[in-house]
Structure 1
């Protein structure tokens, strides 16, 4: 098969040429005879509750010491399971579900009764993203991931506004400072999918180490004209001139052309298997995301009690798409339940409209610094405190063709000419914004003896958004000032942890949070009179490590209330203000490494989410379930290392029913899918993996794009990979 781009050829040559040469340079001390454990991922690796974790606390507490729910998914486990995106891997965490579609960059999540980029924050190496119009597109490739941490519930004290439902922190792979690691994989599967990835890292001398990775993916997709391709590159240098000073420079790049698929319209209110693989977009529709992150981090420990850290960074995001996005079935009375109720067409067709072109050009500069001080107050009493700041500048130029001819057409549901885009207006810059964010924060832990600790934190954040309207209809585009909005928020949390023994903890916490009005960087004149949405959470739970470290278990109960929420269902619909919504629920997880090579990872959540006070126009939606919120979820992974060379995995994902509208008229049924993997270690360093996705070929919807336009998941698929690690 031929490679569609030189980047794929580069990645393949790295895999088949560089890997063996780097592997041969390793010493017997670095990699002696070894065992198949190095290629067949067994055990929980770094998800132990006793391992310090900086996502749930800036004091680098372990999950057992943190009064909140913190889940970790190890990168090696992600790759062993065969997850093909960061979103897919993250949605296996307790209480997390995907609500991804092209409009949100394929990355949006739901957690604890809240959904979208404005309530479930996404970070990379502890640094927050500022989405443009609810869209985040980076990172996407799980090859680059060291681990994914999920902090459930309000995380504003740590990371700022936009995290009432939780925060997801993707930590990228870092250099190994002890020996050289080389790994790679190449695979082919259903839908003509192909992927190749490789990476290498290790010490260059006593003080300098590195890590480089490259990945390429392509597929024909599971709908007509569903081609996609992407590649990702990253490089890291770590310089440690002394034991107390570390300087890390990193650059990550992603280029995605995802499947140009906006969903499948229901026919007579039902999913028709006969149009399961139809794509109602035009043949020339296009979507492209390009993201680049560069960072410089300095960690200095001048003494045993003081640590100073600072990370400066720059993130550029360029996104562009032009597509025909909305489709609905024309019923016998000519009514289109997707909202186009004035369709004048012969019933029985698919009404296509909403020709939309958008370009995002966004750059984020930022700096985050902190100082940590550890103090012994008295015998058995210690205090750890961290104080720091965040500063960000986000520049966005937003281009679109809103107001152009919507390009309406009605086509046969099964056989039709997809046509091409006819854009009479063109995509041009319409406005630009400048968003400044400044914040100061502090966190403290007072430990009273061996069993009790109190953890608290506070953050003050100041945001300023300025917007200019751009008139691109004239020969020389002109700008006019539109708004200058300033927002200030103070959030805090306090919790206590009781550990009767070092491996068991009980905790309780109260936390506050703030969510933006839509998206901070695309603030409009219609939002100027509103304040941010505010919320709080009460949570209590227990965590334990048992069976000599081979088992872990967590359980948490919570209630979150959010007030003053504004929502906008589509870019053209009016802004709605929700007086109050709430969610309460229980989450639990257990992980076991059992004798005879068996392992179990299971989690589940049950919640009740509702609008407590929500009036839109003259209609009250109080008591209804908010859209995109499943009230039951579960994940189960079983693994069995049958012999030192053979391993089998099976995973069940269950997502309960959801609604796609505030009135709860349109329901998306729940679903359960099963994935399976069989791995065979040809040698201690080389393995063959067979991944089967959606084993029972279930038709199901990941999300909706409109009330009755479902974004369907992948049908049954088979992928075969060759994987090597040295």
Structure 2
């Protein structure tokens, strides 16, 4: 009988029925609508694509500290985050970075600047994270060939007041306090407000960081068919000024594990704000309209000495980065950079959805538009005198930042986009349906070079890009809880970042790609188990390639990836829960030449070809829950030629939760249980960004 009961629909006297302890609900991951995979309100079981859902309560119970920590628990997702990309970049299906993995916030795309996105900042106000693996340009536009990640915030509760809070303290003098509340304010109004503050001394010298995030939403619903929601989210971050640890003689030297080679007065500071007004109207059961107007701003400061390498016996860096002589056995430091982004995005997204039935055939369609403008002023000190020095790897004076030029605006861009999209689902029966989508997008970039130092191309120019993407897929459901699907989809990626398009790129268009995917999904054991498997191949064309050292650069290169992804979730008797997933892929440059360098057949940098996650949960006693998680990421390379290899790693986290009452819990968590030294990603070829060492954290959580 246990298999016929939903994981949350337990008897009132069940000793494990503690509200504060998160229990499994596998069926929800397949049977509830997921907006990221389709605008039609389809569930993952009905969508001909791989859609994963990371529940907000679950990610907080696991102790994930960032959105990247949470989303990389999903199948086939790994991190490529470093300070240069805002600490948020991801790898999906063999494609990496902000130009190939789109980031969304409540369904609104975030435009990167120079490959950088710094929002959202904190997982406390997250309701769920949805991930669409594979090309999603047909839904969201250019820059989504690998996939799309949508962070969905907590919504106002219209029926009852709820209060959440947590406070934690642990290793590296790290602490976190957060609180949130939401509920009705009469018959027509409801609200949600959250605030979170974090700080830490860090796990390297001078590794201090701090951040706070505030969010508030007010929903006005004068009737059951119409609502207006005004939401504002603000984040202020001062992340750790750590750009990685240089290898010594090609290897990680653990004696410098805590050394930070940045200058003493380094500064990273991000301020992001999102203001969104959402209107929803459903005049009938078959017709609904929605409109989202938004204003997004980002101000980012980078002031750092960013690049370090070990000087070998020949007096140079192993990869020839330096080019000047230095004392063997020292660390060479260079790249004193000040960069400032002043970015504002304003836009509107609207759609109408309707459904109809004729002769047993159901048709659902959505048609909409998306218009936006991004204004950017980009400032830097690139024309300043070079700062460089050679320091002892163990003991050194970090020094102060040197800037003889001063930061100044270098260029301004105005990026305008408008697009029309359509999606349609034709359901022939309870078993068979076809889903198609089409998007026509126009992008126009106007750039004004204020200071032409180091700028290639004209002082003023305009570039127009036009892409049409589409997908078609079919879903066959032999039973209501099993689906088999296949799809073909197309997508586009920009060359670099659309908002920082340069004069040297004006002769080229966006790169294009396509994917073939087949898969199966199922819910079983009465909803206590789910499983999915997918096989795919993605081809990206239009890479910039130079056939010979003297030939012109052409847009003729190609790369591809093919692979398998699988996941399984089980909620078993005796309070045991299992959540596991894994991915295998083969990513390669099919045709990529740069002068005398031939990269054809090599693995693109930063792409792991194996990854896996396993989480185990055991409700050990009436008010006690034990959790353990394994994260495995396969080896990567930090360069196109695959000369610099970054080893695979496996890290285990563990936690113990005690429900003091049904509303209060204490959590003891251990991150990196076996204190493994490993690189999460790289900044330069031999400059590894190391993961957090073993850390113990005590947390008190409240849910009322």
Answer yes or no: same fold by TM over 0.5. yes
Aligned to 1:257: 238
2:186 maps to 1:186 = no
**Pair 1:366-2:344 in alignment:** no
Shift of the alpha carbon at 1:32? 13
Displacement of 1:34 = 11
In the alignment, what sits opposite 2:540?
562
In the alignment, is residue 537 of structure 1 matched against residue 515 of structure 2? yes
- Partner residue of 1:652? 630
Structure 2 residue aligned with 1:142: 123
CA distance in structure 2 between the partners assigned to 1:262 and 1:696 by the alignment: 24
Secondary structure of 1:404's partner?
coil
Q: Equivalent residue for 1:4?
A: none
Q: CA contact under 8 A between 1:99 and 1:703: conserved in structure 2?
A: yes
How much does 1:406 deviate? 2.1
**Deviation string, structure 1 residues 78-113 (Cα, Å, up to 9, x no partner):** 000000000111111100000000000000000000
How many Å separate the matches in 2 of 1:144 and 1:422?
39
- Does residue 1:452 correspond to 2:432, yes or no? yes
Aligned residues of 2:15 and 2:622 also touching (Cα < 8 A):
no
What do the CA deviations read for 1:433-471 (whole angstroms, capped 9, x no partner)?
000000000000000011100000000000000000114
Between the aligned partners of 2:261 and 2:519, the Cα distance in structure 1 is: 47
Distance apart, 1:234 and its partner CA: 0.2
Is 1:547 paired with 2:521? no
Corresponding residue of 2:413? 433
What SS does the aligned partner of 1:593 have? Answer: strand
Look up the SS of the partner of 1:548 in the other structure.
helix
Give the corresponding residue for 1:466: 446
What is the match of residue 9 of structure 2? none
- Report whether the alignment pairs 1:384 with 2:364: yes
Equivalent residue of 2:30, what SS? coil
| 1:533–1:566 CA contact under 8 A, matched in 2 | no
Provide the secondary structure at the position in 2 that maps to 1:346: coil
In the alignment, what sits opposite 1:414? Answer: 394
Tell me the residue number matched to 2:181. 200
CA contact under 8 A between 1:666 and 1:707: conserved in structure 2?
yes
Q: Alignment partner for residue 304 of structure 2, among 292, 308, 323?
A: 323
1:697-716 equivalences under 5 Å are: 697-716=675-694
| Alignment partners' CA distance in 2, 1:459 and 1:344 | 54
- Establish whether residue 108 from structure 1 lines up as the match of residue 81 from structure 2: no
Give the deviation of 1:305 after TM superposition: 1.1
Aligned to 1:6: none
- Structure 2: state its 5+ residue gaps: 1-11, 547-551
CA spacing shift, 1:577–1:338, aligned 2, 3 Å: farther
Task: Give distance in 2, aligned partners of 1:459 and 1:643.
Answer: 53
For residues 71 and 169 of structure 2, the distance between their equivalents in structure 1, rounded to whole angstroms, comes to: 24
* Cα distance change on mapping 1:577 and 1:715 into 2, 3 Å: farther
Cα drift, residue 576 of structure 1: 8.8
Structure-2 residue corresponding to 1:268: 249
User: C-alpha displacement at 1:343, in angstroms?
Assistant: 2.6
Following superposition, the deviation at residue 364 of structure 1 comes to 0.3
Runs of 4+ in 1 over 6 A off after TM superposition: 31-35
1:404-432 deviation digits (Å, cap 9, x = unpaired) = 22211000001100000110011110100
Aligned to 1:365, the other structure's residue is in SS state: strand
Deviation at 1:341, TM superposition (A): 4.1
Q: CA shift at 1:207, angstroms?
A: 1.3
SS of the residue corresponding to residue 242 of structure 1 reads: coil
C-alpha separation in 1, matches of 2:26 and 2:119: 25
Question: 1:95 touches 1:633 (CA, 8 Å); kept in 2?
Answer: yes
In structure 2, relative to structure 1, the CA distance for the partners of 1:680 and 1:491 (3 Å cut) is same
The CA distance in 1 between the partners of 2:275 and 2:297, in whole Å, is 9
Mapped partners of 1:79, 1:146: distance in 2: 10
Deviation at 1:346, TM superposition (A): 1.2
Instruction: Give secondary structure in 2 for the equivalent of 1:49.
Output: helix
Name the residue aligned to 2:3: none
Give the alignment partner of residue 60 of structure 1, picking from 32, 41, 46: 41
Question: Any idea what SS the aligned residue of 1:41 has?
Answer: coil
Matched, 1:394 2:374: yes
SS of match in other structure, 1:238: strand
The Cα of 1:35 is off from its aligned counterpart by: 7.7
The whole-number CA distance in structure 1 between the counterparts of 2:452 and 2:445 is 22
Matched with 1:349 is 330
| Alignment pair present for 1:506 and 2:484 | yes
For 2:25, the equivalent position in structure 1 comes to 44
2:652 is aligned to 674
Aligned with residue 176 of structure 1, among 154, 157, 180: 157
Contact 1:579–1:614 (Cα < 8 Å) also in 2: yes
Equivalent position of 2:493 in the other structure: 515
Q: Deviation per CA, 1:325-353: give whole Å up to 9, x if none.
A: 00000000112024424232210000000
**Which residue of structure 2 aligns with residue 10 of structure 1?**
none
Residue 295 (structure 2) pairs with residue 311 (structure 1): no
Structure 1 residue 246 displacement after superposition: 1.1
Once residues 583 and 482 of structure 1 are traced to their aligned partners in structure 2, the CA distance between those partners, rounded to angstroms, is 38
Do the aligned residues in 1 keep the contact of 2:26 with 2:570 (CA within 8 Å)? no
1:292 deviates by 0.2
Counterpart contact for 1:429–1:472, Cα < 8 Å? no
Partners of 1:117 and 1:162 within 8 A in 2? yes
CA contact (8 A) 1:282 1:323 kept: yes
Aligned residues: 684
Q: Does 1:626 align with 2:604?
A: yes
Aligned equivalents of 2:169 and 2:553: distance in 1? 46
Deviation at 1:117, TM superposition (A): 0.1
* Distance in structure 1 (CA, Å) of the matches to 2:275 and 2:208: 29
Secondary structure of the 2:49 match is: coil
The 1:87/1:58 distance shift into structure 2, 3 A limit, reads same
Match of 1:91 among 66, 72, 79: 72
Closer/same/farther in 2, CA of residues 144 and 562 from structure 1, 3 Å limit: same
With the length of structure 1 as denominator, give the TM-score of the two structures. Answer: 0.92
Alignment-derived partner of residue 60 in structure 2: 79
| Kept after mapping to 2: 8 A contact 1:36/1:685 | no
Deviations 1:52-76 (A, max 9, x none): 1111000010001000000000000
Instruction: Tell me by how many angstroms 1:217 deviates.
Output: 0.1
The residue matched to 1:596 in structure 2 has which SS?
helix
Query: Normalising by structure 2, what TM-score?
Result: 0.95
- Give the 3-state SS of the residue equivalent to 2:222 in structure 1: strand
Q: Equivalent of 1:156, from 130, 137, 140?
A: 137
Is 1:286 matched with 2:271? Answer: no
* Further displaced range: 404-413 or 229-238: 404-413
Q: Distance in 2 between matches of 1:439 and 1:34?
A: 54
